[in-house]
Amino acid sequence: MHAIEKILAKASGKSEVRSGEIVEARVDVAEVNDLYLQVIKSFYEMGGERVANPDKVTFVFDHYSPSPTIKAADNQRQMREFCEKMGISRLFDVGEGVCHQVLAESGLVGPGKIVIETDSHSTTLGALGAFASGVGATDLAIILLTGQLWFKVPPVIRIEVDGAIPYGVMAKDVILYILGKLKQDAAIYKAVEYSGSAISSMSMDERFVLCNMSVEMGAKTAYIQPDDITFNFLEEKGAKRDDFEVFVTDGDFCYQESYAFDVSGLSPQVALPGSVDDVANIEDAQPVPVTQVFIGTCTGGRLNDIKTAANILRGRHVAKGVRCLIVPASRTIFRDALAEGYVKDLVEAGAVFVTPGCGPCLGAHEGVLTAGDVCVSTSSRNFPGRMGSTEASIFVASPATAAASALAGHLADPRNFIG
């Protein structure tokens, strides 16, 4: 069996499960974000009176945080009241950050856990060896009611990434390259496992990016086998090794598909507006003038991303006509970026800091685009209308490419601005 299958088997009280089988599994950590008042509505509509396991439930206010409208503020108020009433103590309120990052830092998530969130990018947490997946509001309400949910055991695709990642190239470039090759529907209803020498040498910050964007190829979940980098990360967050169970894939396990990539010669990548799998080498992309650069989100707002941007912009200035927004993925990251001096460097270079959260990525607030805007974004999606107007263009790129573009005033190759 694969490690993912073993996690699902354990959580559903079985000794063995197979791909395609439907299991009823207990959920270790459930998370509701502030887009989903529907969770509470569905809970009551199904006759809910009390939450099965309040200690396993978290609420994170990140998409509309701080609230931009009265309606959003009222949704959050109702959620606070629900937590109070149901005895849910883990409410991460305005300013704590993006749900996936907040959970990663909470020490609650690690190897062997089943983590279900009302957000498609929940695949992020597979980087910690968890089975992590996104669901809609009503599925999450069922978890509140019963503590469990049904899952189809997914077939697993192996993506092996080898080679030393070149200077100026980041995990974001690696995953964009893979998406460009495999396309948006490559892993619908499947799990994706990353392995290989390039993965083993990646920091947790970078591993999260790969797992995060796996949902852009349709993946139900993503997975990286826990190693010392994983355990060191968890230890730093105050988690104990005994809190988790590490499952290992059997040697005779048959992957449904396997792909191998060598990234030692990879250029920075950019996804062209409209589709995240329409990917080009930066040197082949036109130097399109940009009006906004956005460094943030659950994909691109970690400390390594802010540090990379600071290294490029330090002592220089954002080009005239460009708004350069930086949104740390969590309060902890914001605090660390302050301590390291990156915030000062970036603000002096003309960048604007926004509260930890994820509002601009989905066009909710704090950086909405109008017709004719061109944004280079470290986010995961460039669907038409994603960040506001359907007549705006979004290029998805690494934090290095985004920072270089802010400096140049047009889509730019970061290798020209570092080293």
Partner 1 sequence: MKEVELIQGRVFVFGDNIDTDQIYPGRYLELTEPEEVALHAMEGADPDFPSKVRPGDIIVAGKNFGCGSSREHAVITLIASGVRAVVAKSFARIFYRNAINRGLPVVEIPDLEPNSISQGSIATLDFKNGIFSSSEGKTYNFVPFPDNIMAIIEAGGIMPFYKAKATSRTPKKP
What residues make contact with partner 1 under the rule CB under 8 A?
35-38, 41-42, 45-47, 63-64, 69, 71-72, 75, 118-120, 134-139, 142, 184-185, 188-189, 216, 218, 220, 275, 362-364, 368, 381, 383-386, 388, 390
**Minimum CB separation from partner 1 for residue 75, in Å?**
6
**Minimum CB separation from partner 1 for residue 197, in Å?**
30
> By the 8 A CB rule, do 379 and 300 touch?
yes
What is the rounded CA–CA span in Å between residue 41 and residue 283?
Answer: 50
For partner 1, which is the closer residue by CB, 117 or 413?
117
- In one-letter notation, the amino acid at residue 265 is G
**Minimum CB separation from partner 1 for residue 389, in Å?**
10
- In one-letter notation, the amino acid at residue 382 is N
The DSSP code sequence of 377-413 is E-SS---TTTTB-TTSEEEE--HHHHHHHHHHSB---
What is the rounded CA–CA span in Å between residue 236 and residue 78?
Answer: 34
The DSSP code sequence of 205-250 is HHHHHHHHHGGGGT-SEEEE---HHHHHHHHHTT--GGG-------
> By the 8 A CB rule, do 103 and 31 touch?
yes
**Minimum CB separation from partner 1 for residue 220, in Å?**
5
For partner 1, which is the closer residue by CB, 386 or 415?
386
Closest CA to 3 of 198, 195, 238: 195
For partner 1, which is the closer residue by CB, 139 or 340?
139
For partner 1, which is the closer residue by CB, 128 or 140?
140
Supply the angle between the helices 303-313 and 399-408 in degrees, to the nearest 10.
Answer: 30
Q: Within 107-227, where are the H helices? A: 137-146, 171-182, 197-200, 204-213
Buried b (16+ CB within 10 A) or exposed e, 61-89: bbbbbbbeeeebeebbeebeebbeebebe
For partner 1, which is the closer residue by CB, 33 or 249?
33
Q: 110 by DSSP, 3-state: which?
A: coil
**Minimum CB separation from partner 1 for residue 167, in Å?**
33
**Minimum CB separation from partner 1 for residue 257, in Å?**
16
- In one-letter notation, the amino acid at residue 206 is E
Distance spanning both ends of the chain, measured CA to CA = 46
For partner 1, which is the closer residue by CB, 10 or 63?
63
For partner 1, which is the closer residue by CB, 36 or 395?
36
**Minimum CB separation from partner 1 for residue 280, in Å?**
18
For partner 1, which is the closer residue by CB, 17 or 303?
17
What is the rounded CA–CA span in Å between residue 66 and residue 331?
Answer: 13
Q: Please report where in the chains the tokens 């230890």 appear, as a residue.
A: 235
For partner 1, which is the closer residue by CB, 274 or 341?
274
For partner 1, which is the closer residue by CB, 332 or 379?
379
**Minimum CB separation from partner 1 for residue 134, in Å?**
4
**Minimum CB separation from partner 1 for residue 122, in Å?**
8
What is the rounded CA–CA span in Å between residue 232 and residue 246?
Answer: 14
**Minimum CB separation from partner 1 for residue 206, in Å?**
23
- In one-letter notation, the amino acid at residue 56 is K
What is the rounded CA–CA span in Å between residue 366 and residue 129?
Answer: 33
